[in-house]
Chains A and B, each alone.
Chain A
Amino acid sequence: MKPATFTYHRASSVRDAVGLLSELAEEEPKLLAGGQSLVAMMNYRMARPGHLVDITHVPGLAGIRRSTGDDGRAILRIGALTTHRAVEKADLGPEFAVLSRAMRWVGHLPIRTRGTVGGSIAHADATAEWCLLAVLLDARIVAEGPAGRREIGAGEFFLGPFTTALEPDEVIVEIVFDRPAPRAALTEYADRRGDFAVVAAGADLDTGSVVLGGVATVPQLVRAAGTPDEIADALDLRDEPGVPAAYRRGLARTLVARARAEAAATTEEDSNG
């Protein structure tokens, strides 16, 4: 189908975008980034925004910056407009290579060339790889609103299905990863390669945390996680059409074990080569 009529605005800066969102608040404005979720929903008419505020022409919102913190640790700042593909191809160093490796799970190449990190986080699909990675690595989401900028921890950001702590007039500016994760991995199962996962699992061997997608309405972080069996048994799952709870639980068990094995293997690769 074709999208319903809307008024188009091209934001020239984040300030400009925030201003438009506030000004048009009564008329359902929406930010437009990669459009890989929003335009599909508009074509279905599941979304009918009255105004689109296009942020893809805002200078400085795309790109990855690496720096070193006071304690010598690597810090990664990923601009909201950075595409999945740009992260996939970037050399993020052993501390954050897990992010590049995980991108192969995000849709397919032509989706990754347009879809953005900020858009994924804002869209907040409970199985989206970016949401899981942000929660697993305790990333911080930097958002700008009329009152200025604030930082929201990924753990407090995802509130429910497609629902976040972001105010309607806030724009995500960047995502900050400041805890190196050289021994981490993300893996998943989807019926077809490139589809959203039925279940996804990530593991960070240094913190002992595990994150699961597809088992609740938001990414589920398990700190000081036990064995794959213990993690899977503790999940509160219901039978759904085509996906019995036992099947999902089995996937969670297998994928947690697989994510841990992959995390351990990357460390070996790094130290061998």
Chain B
Amino acid sequence: MTDVALVELHVNGERHDLAIPPRRTLADVLRHDLGLTGTHVGCEHGICGACTVLVDGAPARACLLFAIQVENAEIRTVESLADPDGGLSDLQQCFSEHHGLQCGFCTPGFLMLAEGYLAEEPEATREEIREVVASNLCRCTGYQTITDAIDDCASRRRAALQAALDTAPEPTAGSTA
């Protein structure tokens, strides 16, 4: 193989065809080739979590993956959270309301960590959320407000789901047959 490889990446629902060296990490491809600078890079060895993105729904360190490895995966970055018109997602809204950020450097990583985790564990307890947020480093907040934000978002999602179930029309006779 030559120094440059053709790589097809699927990021935030869009397909990108790239000619990149195989040694380029997913984090660098997102930032430098795709201009998605919401994904931050801190340590480049898996410790800080600033580069956390979703790979097929699961939180992963983009600095420890080569883009060429994840060709057929669905990648999601922090840019996928807000509405196209800039309206914050419920998770981002909770971070804002609970002051789950100060300098904001770590925030994209925490958002994607929480986004992936809550999708898998909607019933997560506060204790479990505390353990998961220990995955990433934050030098500013002391983690309390990040935990509050994620916990609140999980509660609101559960309440919304319950409300939707409560107001759902009764199935009419025969509809389940």
Residues of A within 8 A of B (CB): 1-9, 32, 35-36, 39-40, 43-44, 52, 54, 56, 85, 104, 107-111, 113-114, 192-194
Q: Which residue of A lies closest to B24 (CB)?
A: A2
CB closest residue in chain A, given B120: A89
* Any A CB within 8 A of the CB of B58: yes
Query: What chain A residues lie within 8 Å of B49 (beta carbons)?
Result: 108, 110
Chain A residues within 8 Å of B90, by CB: none
- Partner of A7 from B1, B28, B58, B64 at Cβ < 8 Å: B1
Interface bin, chain B: 20 to 34
Asked if residues A8 and B1 are in contact (CB atoms below 8 Å), the reply is: yes
Asked whether, in the complex, the Cβ of A110 is within 8 Å of the Cβ of B3, the reply is no
- Are A194 and B65 touching (Cβ within 8 A)? no
Q: Does B94 contact A (CB under 8 A)?
A: no
Which one of B127-135, B149-157, B162-170 is at the A interface?
B127-135
With A and B bound together, what is the CA distance between A59 and B113 in angstroms? 28
12 contacts between A and B (CB under 8 A): A3-B25, A5-B3, A6-B23, A8-B1, A39-B25, A39-B64, A43-B63, A52-B66, A108-B134, A109-B117, A111-B61, A114-B60
Q: Could you tell me if B58 and A113 are in contact, using CB atoms closer than 8 angstroms?
A: yes
- Tell me, in angstroms, the Cα distance from A39 to B63 when the chains sit together: 8
Which of A3, A5, A107, A114 has the most C-beta atoms of chain B within 10 angstroms of its own C-beta?
A114
The interface residues of chain B, by DSSP majority, are classed as mixed
Please provide the chain B residues from 54 to 99 with a CB less than 8 Å away from any CB of chain A in the complex.
Answer: 55, 58-61, 63-66, 68-69
**B45 CB contacts on chain A under 8 angstroms:** 40, 43-44
**Cβ B64 vs Cβ A36 within 8 A:** yes
Within the assembled complex, what's the spacing in Å between the Cα atoms of A113 and B60?
7
| Contact residues in B for A6 (Cβ distance below 8 Å) | 22-23
Q: Which of A4, A85, A104, A111 is in CB contact (< 8 Å) with B23?
A: A4
Inter-chain contact B65/A39, CB cutoff 8 Å: yes
Of B21, B68, B69, most buried by chain A (CB within 10 Å of CB) is B69
- List the B side residues contacting A7 at CB < 8 Å: 1, 22
Q: Which of B1-47 contact A (CB under 8 A)?
A: 1, 3, 5, 21-23, 25, 28, 44-46
* Contact status B5-A8, CB under 8 Å: yes
Residues of B within 8 A of A5 (CB): 3, 21, 23
Contact A8 B68 (CB under 8 A): yes
Residues in B neighbouring A43, C-beta threshold 8 A = 25, 44-45, 63-64
Q: At the interface, yes or no: B52 with Cβ under 8 Å from chain A?
A: yes
Query: Which of A8, A56, A108 neighbours the largest number of chain B CB atoms within 10 Å of its CB?
Result: A108
Whose C-beta in chain A lies nearest to the C-beta of B65? A35
**Alpha-carbon separation in the docked complex, A56 to B28 (Å):** 21
Q: CB-CB < 8 A to A35: which residues of B?
A: 64-66, 69
The reply to whether B135 and A109 form a contact with Cβ atoms under 8 Å apart is yes
